[in-house]
Amino acid sequence: MPKDFLKDAQDEYDVIVIGSGLAGLTSANSLAKAGHRVLLIEHHYQLGGMATWFKRSGGHIFDISLHGFPIGMIKSCKRYWTKEIADSIVQLKNIRFDNPMFSLRTTFDRNDFTRLLIEQFGISPETVSAFFDAAREMNFYDNDGATVGEFFAKFFPGREDVIRLLMEPITYANGSTLEDPALTYGIVFSNFMSKGVYTFEGGTDRLIGLMKEEMIANGVDLRIRCEAQQIHIENGRVTGVTVNGRRIKARSVISNANLKQTIFRLAGEENFDGQYLEDAKAVRLNNSSTQVYMALQPGELIDEDCGDLLFSSTAPAFRTDLLLARDITSRTFSFYYPRTRPGTDRCMVVSSTNARFEDWANLDEEEYQRQKDLLIEDTIQACEKYVPNLRERLAHVEASTPRTFQHYTRHLHGASFGTKFEGLAVSRALPEQIGGLYHAGSVGIIMSGWLGAVNYGVIVANDVDGYLLKANPGSSLAAAQQADE
């Protein structure tokens, strides 16, 4: 008899959160902390969404994707999660670039980038300062329609080397392109540029473990292997969710699923007005990625001179289409040393490349496996430039593709960063269409990445709290947050 993963679950909750990405986890924790009855459901056996991990025999633990975020993550985790989580966030101080245009190292903060742009690239101090100031002053409400490419042309005309330095890491981090609105680049770039790139010491498994403990302590009912099949709506308001064939009532629902999947599959087109549906259909999905996970044999160490993050490319210039091509010329290598996971003697390398879902979607199983094998082989060869004799030192290697991410996250086309910029407005307008239905996740470049997901989870939790309090003025998320300060 199959296991009932909803055993002892209540028939009704104040809030059901669909999906356990960082936005879903944060909104669930915040609302439970405020006294609301919260059910969080996750179809996978692992929490975290794209912020997760997997284990392989031999004691190998791989973090999914590249985990780098701005210093603001420390403040957000301290305020909305725990001090222990915040105290485990550490800076990645050795970021490398290696391509036909230049090879350099940086701490990836404004001071060091200023030094590089002036000393190595010959840009005037006045231009550098004006560029950083213009990026920092950008905000969502002052969108002037300029593209990222036009923004660069204003400050660095004809300088493709400078554009590559400033653009390539952000493209890897959240899928941004030269054709996207300038503010989607400026906001993310200036956040990173304030104090550099940070990560979580101890691995994603430790982070999600600590978050799970905090949620349970606050009363969140956590359920894995529980898939949302339908969001129920009556008279313009959400009434519950069918989960694993069981209908559970709720006064409010937060979907941490892909935005388009939330609207068109879970809620259903018949519940939205025509213009909203047109806006939702026009939202573009962001790109996906391929990754190769490589574990060295126990005790085999990588020289830390390799760096923490390495943006490596053989392409002669920065081009978005080249970054997405299956004929890979650019890879980001993330190096995991024993200090990354204190107490272990393991070194890992994760190679990540942006990718198109359509390049992988329709391959038959034989060709699909052949292409994965080629991806692994090419990646090992590329990495051996930096880690000599890597092949002989490996204990385990495997690859993931856009199909992998679609399977495990249920994100349409395996979109690593949700939707493009226009998705944010559609996401925010969801409760205007259906009372009590909210969306939190990776929508628009601004809300991409770990920090964006956590902060969007907080924003939506506050919205839901206000909605619930209109009907039952007894608890307050704002009061709960003030009590923590």
CA torsion angle 368 374 375 376 (round to 10): 110
Which tokens go with 156? 């660095």
pLDDT of residue 449: 83
pLDDT in tens, 454-469: 999 999 999 999 999 9
Topology of the domain covering 12-51+206-284+417-484: FAD/NAD(P)-binding domain (3.50.50)
Tell me, letter by letter, the H, E, C secondary structure of the chain. CCCCCCCCCCCEEEEEEECCCHHHHHHHHHHHHCCCCEEEEECCCCCCCCCCEEEECCCEEEECCCCCECCHHHHHHHHHCCHHHHHCEEEECCEEEECCCCEEEECCCHHHHHHHHHHCCCCCHHHHHHHHHHHHHCCHHHCCCCEHHHHHHHHCCCCHHHHHHHHHHHHHHHCCCCCCEHHHHHHHHHHHHHHCEEEECCCHHHHHHHHHHHHHHCCCEEEECCCEEEEEEECCEEEEEEECCEEEEEEEEEECCCHHHHHHHHHCHHHCCHHHHHHHHHCCECCEEEEEEEEECCCCCCCHHHCCEEEEECCCCCCHHHHHCCCCCEEEEEEECCCCCCCCCCCEEEEEEEECCHHHHCCCHHHHHHHHHHHHHHHHHHHCCCCCCHHHHEEEEEEECHHHHHHHHCCHHHCCCCECCCHHHHHHCHHHHCECEEECCCECHHHCHHHHHHHHHHHHHHHHHHHHHHHCCCCCHHHHHHHHC
pLDDT of residue 309: 93
For residues 417 and 175, is the Cβ–Cβ distance under 8 A?
Answer: yes
The C-alpha atoms of residue 336 and residue 344 are separated, in whole angstroms, by 11
pLDDT of residue 478: 55
Asked if residue 324 has pLDDT above 80, the reply is: no
Higher pLDDT, 472 or 166: 166
Per-residue pLDDT band for 307 (boundaries 50, 70, 90) equals: very high
For residues 14 and 477, is the Cβ–Cβ distance under 8 A?
Answer: no
Going by C-alpha positions, the residue among 141, 7, 26 that lies closest to residue 452 is: 26
Place of tokens 């018949």: 270
The C-alpha atoms of residue 351 and residue 398 are separated, in whole angstroms, by 11
Going by C-alpha positions, the residue among 306, 329, 307 that lies closest to residue 318 is: 329
Higher pLDDT, 145 or 217: 217
* Neighbour-count burial of 275, counting CB atoms closer than 10 A to its CB (0-12 exposed, 13-18 middle, 19+ buried): exposed
Per-residue pLDDT band for 306 (boundaries 50, 70, 90) equals: very high
Per-residue pLDDT band for 471 (boundaries 50, 70, 90) equals: confident
Which tokens go with 54? 């997997």
Asked if residue 66 has pLDDT above 70, the reply is: no
Question: What rounded mean pLDDT belongs to the chain?
Answer: 91
Asked if residue 417 has pLDDT above 90, the reply is: no
- pTM (2 decimals)? 0.92
pLDDT in tens, 100-133: 999 999 999 999 999 999 999 999 999 999 999 9
The C-alpha atoms of residue 371 and residue 401 are separated, in whole angstroms, by 10
Per-residue pLDDT band for 67 (boundaries 50, 70, 90) equals: low
Asked if residue 41 has pLDDT above 60, the reply is: yes
| φ/ψ (deg, to 5) at 9 | -70, 150
For residues 356 and 287, is the Cβ–Cβ distance under 8 A?
Answer: yes
pLDDT of residue 473: 62
The C-alpha atoms of residue 207 and residue 211 are separated, in whole angstroms, by 6
pLDDT in tens, 244-299: 999 999 999 999 999 999 999 999 999 999 999 999 999 999 889 999 999 999 98
Mean pLDDT, rounded, for 373-388: 96
> Where in the chain are the domains?
12-51+206-284+417-484, 109-195, 287-409
The C-alpha atoms of residue 55 and residue 63 are separated, in whole angstroms, by 9
The C-alpha atoms of residue 442 and residue 174 are separated, in whole angstroms, by 10
pLDDT of residue 481: 58
pLDDT of residue 139: 76
pLDDT of residue 477: 63
pLDDT of residue 189: 84
Which are the contacts of 454, defined by CB distance < 8 A and separation ≥ 6?
22, 23, 26, 73, 76, 77, 80
Per-residue pLDDT band for 482 (boundaries 50, 70, 90) equals: low
Which tokens go with 8? 């002892």
Mean pLDDT, rounded, for 87-101: 95
pLDDT of residue 286: 87
The C-alpha atoms of residue 406 and residue 285 are separated, in whole angstroms, by 13
